[in-house]
A and B are shown apart, each in its own frame.
Chain A
Amino acid sequence: MEAPLLGVQGLNVDLALQSGRTRPILRDISFELPAKRTLGLIGASGAGKTVLAKALVNWIEQPLHITGGTIAWRGKDLLGDRQGFGRLRGSKIAYVGGNPAGTLDPTQTVGAQIVEKLLSVQPRTSRREAIEKAVDLLAAVRIPSPSQRFHEYPYQYSGGMMQRALIVDALISDPELLVADNVTQPLDVTVAAQILKLMRELTERFATAVVFVSSSLPVVADIADELLVLHEGRIVERQATRRLVSHPIHAYTQALIGELPTIWQGHGPAERPRGQTTEPLLSVSEVSKTYKVRKRDSFAGYNHVQAVRRANFDIFKGDNFGVVGESGCGKSSLMRLLTRLEPPDTGRIVFDGQDLATCGGSALQKLRRRLQLVLQDPFSSLPPRSPIGAIIEEPLRIHGLGGAKERRRQVRDVMGEVGLDATLIDELPAGLSAGQRQRVNVARAMILEPALLIMDETLSSLDQTEQTKLLNLFERLQAQHGFTYLFISHDLAMVRRVCSRIAVMYLGEIVELAANERLFFDPGHPYTKALLSAVPTLEERRYRPEDCLLEGEPPSPIDLPPGCSFASRCPSAFDRCRSQHPGLTARSSHDLAACFLVEPPRVAARETAGA
């Protein structure tokens, strides 16, 4: 019998600790990968996935050590012959990681570096051949105008485009094995879906075997023939993909699948019924913000980046309002406007009956008490040298509330409410996990008893288990304190679970505004459909990416074309979309979408005509 392309036998990797002891990272890893097959590798963060992926490309560095086992290439041991292993790297074994922006030297052009790599591993190629091959492959991964892009620098590429270029960089030497380590993790869902499709096509075309590593089961299931489940450094299960999804054997795999959020099963929260007279807590009308960025190649020119364009929505008390969109869509700019970190250029943001834009000084300070923000990054959002109690207490001190004792008591109460141990009160945040840190952030925001909490990607850095716990916490706090939440997120599954009303943003514009059920089951805007088609999920998809999304990435928010901003990626765009701008059109009394294809309901026709 012929030896498999890659054979791993009893691989052990240890981490040397500073105390001189070692901690096992990988234990007794054994698997084989035949040529031309795709093997998926799945596990939670910390399970050792990335270490295993790196071991396959001879990238185990201090303080990690391989302490046992073999890695064989076509039956030949590689660990005993590190030089030979090194020569295989880049030529026969290629690696693409999850850090597209940092993989290439920022001071040299992308094309030059791809050519440099090819010439390094295949010195007999002529420079001209190498350039031709690189340009051809750049075209094959659908990078627009590849011969021009060849001469551009890494910073001129978007994340998705860079990942395409790195796939070219990996495949240009015709490798037999591609190790793809978390390649879609930093990308937006629609871009990630494109990259996955591309990888499937190319590895099939070049007959490359693939080890595909990811922490997202739906993503791996999408591409792999067979799956390995890694849990605490050991392989706990190996099955063909479909079988593993339908009949998981190991308890860990079962839990993993059980924990996956679903989108089209069950019901999302419905909107609270409200009377005609209810005033919104936060009312955003015609809000726009344009940033001026100096033009690089001109004497005194500026580019106008339209970050938020004529946003309109209301949030009512006790609601969970969601704003979703991909990176660069203006979510965070909107957050900056809503929290009055910056005033909008035009429009009104009325909170609790007061216009935030014209509010200043002590009136603004008072308003801020009722409107708090919880940030995305659990690590940089806490001062590292302040005790946790002091961090949580600070808002009280800023607003001059209560005496020292009273404040301390309040801090203890709030810590108990968010599930932080009272003994942490005088500790520094250094030892806290990401989840605990976000609890500190939440405690700090809610200690002022605000009416509205703005959650800017608060949960996106947490794993599934921790997310679920925090969402339950949010629900409990809402029931007890009557908070209103505004969730800003790129995670559709999370929004589906908690938000009753959702705004979808694309290029600074709200393109759809609808209730949860309507948005997920009957979206009115093609971009919403595209987003839904690209969500990684194991469920039966209601929308397929092939039907809903064209190739390409969002155009630049500078010099937006006239007409609909989604027209360049929309499968159902027609002439009118490219010349005329569709405004938000009512589909029913509450749901709106900005598309010419929306048919206003007859009853509401008059209302629409007025809008």
Chain B
Amino acid sequence: MFVLSFLARRLLQGFVIIFLVMFLIFTLLRVVPGDPVRLMAGGMAPEALIEQIATQMGLRDPILVQFGRYAAHVVQGDFGQSFVRPADGAATGGAAFNDASRSERAEVLTLVAQTAPRTFQLALTAILMALLISLPLGVAGGLYPGRWPDRLALYLGSIFVSLPNFWLGIVLILLLSVKLAWLPAIGYQGFAWTILPAFVLAIEMAPFMIRTLTVSVAQVMQEYFIAAGPVRGLSRSRVVLRHGLKNASVPLLNLLGVQFSMLLGGVLVVEYIFDYPGLGLLTINAVLQRDFPLIQGIAIITSAAFVLINIAVDLLATTIDPRLDY
């Protein structure tokens, strides 16, 4: 019964959060300067025409009215159409105000659905790589505090954290793609294109994971039950593997949840450098073009992902440590 009541409560809270995000994004976007109609119609369009288009699109209604209309659509799964992007996926641009293809703007949902899986794939690969790097380093560092594994973890972590991701990305592209031609780098045509950006992200995340692991493992190893285990007759390796690591895993799990959510929200710099067609790239362009429906859509969908991931992480954490209660 615990799981059901937990899910019911958390999903309800999640809806409230998503609603608030939706409201904030919506109102703030309309308060900041910059008229999307001016951008859509082009700088040369006469003022009267802009007012006419804006009124047609409902952009001159009170914000609350606009929000109500928008929310009603979102509930039905309709995130609206992009102001700017054409449905055929062609490049964006400042089309002229009398562009006849206005009705063929792309659906926000379609745009997100095209890019989100790429970002998801990138995020998952990055997390796995980061785990591969940080698990051995972090656990060894936590088991031998103050000794060389601990120092190795600390030094590597410090190096990783001070490598700027744009620099590492460019260097790796130059080295592995251009010089050695081992891995493709720009754009996306298959899984191979994910590896390099994922590695850059993994290096960026690993220091935090190493640190979290080192601290939590070292802390758990100080617990009385770890010392008492061998006295009760358990072997040391059993105490460490079955009891120590299990207890130390909850902080890492929480960190993974946060990092995964952040990756899903779009990794702007890395996607931009690798021209990786994910949510990040989509977001950058949407913001530059004042593409309100697209920005809103991305924000709402990623906040929903945040909420879901957090629920999953907390549920997983309670199965690891039954004392936890969210």
Q: Which residues of A contact B (CB under 8 A)?
A: 57-59, 61, 86, 89-91, 94-95, 97, 99, 102-108, 116-117, 120-121, 153, 155, 169-170, 173, 294, 296-300
Contacts and interface: CB of A to CB of B under 8 A. Distances in A.
B230 A89 contact: yes
A61 B223 CA distance: 15
Contacts of A94: 232
B225 A102 contact: yes
Given A59-B231, A89-B231, A103 B9 contact: no
Contacts of A103: 224-225, 228, 232
Given A95-B231, A155-B322, 8 more contacts: A90-B231, A90-B233, A103-B224, A105-B246, A105-B247, A107-B323, A117-B232, A120-B235
Nearest to B321: A107
A103 B228 CA distance: 6
Given A102-B225, A105-B243, A107-B246, A297 B232 contact: no
Interface in B1-33: 1-2, 5, 8-9
B121 to A, nearest CB: 32
Contacts of B1: 297-298
B88 interface: no
Interface in B218-239: 223-225, 227-228, 230-235, 238
Contacts of A117: 232-234
22 contacts: A58-B231, A59-B231, A90-B230, A91-B233, A95-B232, A97-B228, A99-B224, A102-B225, A103-B232, A104-B225, A106-B247, A106-B321, A107-B320, A107-B322, A108-B243, A116-B234, A120-B235, A155-B322, A294-B325, A296-B2, A298-B5, A299-B9
A305 to B, nearest CB: 16
Interface residues of B, number: 26
A592 B147 CA distance: 65
Nearest to B319: A107
B314 to A, nearest CB: 14
Contacts of A155: 322-323
A57 B233 CA distance: 10
Contacts, number: 79
Contact of B232 (A90, A99, A296): A90
Nearest to B223: A102
Contacts of B230: 86, 89-90
Contacts of B242: 105, 116
Nearest to B320: A107
A125 to B, nearest CB: 13
A189 B286 CA distance: 70
B184 to A, nearest CB: 44
A212 to B, nearest CB: 17
Contact of A90 (B5, B234, B322): B234
B99 to A, nearest CB: 53
A297 B2 contact: yes
The 9 closest A-B pairs by CB, nearest first: A90-B233, A102-B224, A121-B233, A105-B243, A299-B5, A107-B321, A103-B228, A90-B232, A297-B2
A365 to B, nearest CB: 37
Contacts of B232: 89-90, 94-95, 103, 117, 169-170
Interface string B63-99: 0000000000000000000000000000000000000
Nearest to A59: B231
B98 to A, nearest CB: 57
Contacts of B243: 105, 107-108
A171 to B, nearest CB: 12
Given A57-B231, A89-B231, A108-B243, A120 B5 contact: no
A102 B325 CA distance: 19
Contacts of B2: 296-297
Nearest to B228: A103
A105 B5 CA distance: 27
A153 B322 contact: yes
Contacts of B321: 106-107
A107 B224 contact: no
Contacts of B320: 107
Nearest to A179: B231
Nearest to B224: A102
Contacts of A173: 233
A121 B235 CA distance: 9
Contacts of B9: 299-300
A120 B233 contact: yes
B5 A89 contact: no
Interface in B142-158: none
A297 B5 contact: yes
B37 to A, nearest CB: 46
A105 B322 CA distance: 11
A341 to B, nearest CB: 25
A379 B89 CA distance: 67
Nearest to B12: A299
A294 B320 CA distance: 21
Contacts of B247: 105-107
Given A105-B246, A107-B247, A299-B8, A89 B233 contact: yes
A529 B231 CA distance: 39
B140 to A, nearest CB: 20
Nearest to B246: A107
B216 to A, nearest CB: 13
B212 to A, nearest CB: 18
Given A297-B5, A299-B5, A299-B9, A106 B231 contact: no
A96 to B, nearest CB: 10
A303 to B, nearest CB: 13
Contacts of A153: 322-323
A90 to B, nearest CB: 2
Contacts of B231: 57-59, 89-90, 95
Contacts of B225: 102-106
A120 B230 CA distance: 10
B231 to A, nearest CB: 5
B253 to A, nearest CB: 13
A57 B1 CA distance: 44
B149 to A, nearest CB: 18
A297 B322 CA distance: 12
A542 B96 CA distance: 102
Contacts of B246: 105, 107-108
Nearest to B8: A299
Contacts of A107: 243, 246-247, 320-323
Contacts of A299: 5, 8-9
A76 B274 CA distance: 70
A106 B224 CA distance: 11
B323 A106 contact: yes
Interface in B163-213: none
A80 B321 CA distance: 40
A253 B210 CA distance: 54
Contacts of A58: 231
